[in-house]
Structure 1
Amino acid sequence: MALQEKVKINTANGLHARPITQIVSTAAKLSSDIKIIYKDVKADAKSMIALMKLGVRQYEEVTIQVDGEEEAKDFDRMMDILKKMN
């Protein structure tokens, strides 16, 4: 069963190149399937292009979804990254 939680993006320009690079580099090290959902569109958190296409702006809310054998550990790691960006 996948874990998921909503997170408000508070970075000055939303999800742009710098925070997306942090998300992708962290997600790439994890074994779980990690998605970021924005306005009913799911993007692979291991793909910079997919995340850029979402166009998430400042103060918008996204859902992080993690599914895999180590989903609890991977979910905590991704939430740490997202919360530190805010």
Structure 2
Amino acid sequence: MVAKEIIIRNEQGFHVRPAQLFVDKANEYRSDLKVRSESGEEADGKSMLDLMTLGLEKGARIVLEASGEDEQECLQALAELIESKFGEA
């Protein structure tokens, strides 16, 4: 298992479009993925519904946890997606 803390930086936070992009990218990998919020709530990183229940806004700190055969690649790709602000200006 590998984990990384990251901050949501896009203006609108983790709304529908970023959540869908995140889930699409996560599902490219075989590893299990968990997303944990600052409050300790945990979501399946491959479930859009789960992610949306976290209510992540700009500035939220989250921990991504990947576990599986391609965990490093999975974590790196998702961290890059978040750091790119999901392509938002």
**TM-score of the superposed pair, with normalisation by structure 2:** 0.88
Separation in 2 of the partners of 1:62 and 1:48? Answer: 16
What corresponds to 1:3 in structure 2? 2
Percent identical? 26
What corresponds to 2:17 in structure 1? 18
Aligned to 1:81, the other structure's residue is in SS state helix
The answer for unaligned runs of 5 or more in structure 1 is none
1:32-86 Cα distance to aligned partner (Å, 9 max, x none): 0011101211111110100000001111111111110111121111111111127
1:76 matched to 2:82 = no
Separation in 2 of the partners of 1:79 and 1:10? Answer: 12
- Aligned-residue Cα RMSD (Å) equals 1.1
Matches for 1:41-60 after TM superposition, within 5 Å? 41-60=41-60
What corresponds to 2:40 in structure 1? 40
Separation in 2 of the partners of 1:52 and 1:73? Answer: 24
**TM-score of the superposed pair, with normalisation by structure 1:** 0.91
The answer for unaligned runs of 5 or more in structure 2 is none
Aligned to 2:36, the other structure's residue is in SS state strand
Which consecutive aligned stretches of 4+ in structure 1 deviate over 3 angstroms post-superposition? none
Instruction: Count matched residues.
Output: 85
Separation in 1 of the partners of 2:31 and 2:85? Answer: 21
What corresponds to 2:63 in structure 1? 63
Separation in 2 of the partners of 1:59 and 1:73? Answer: 24
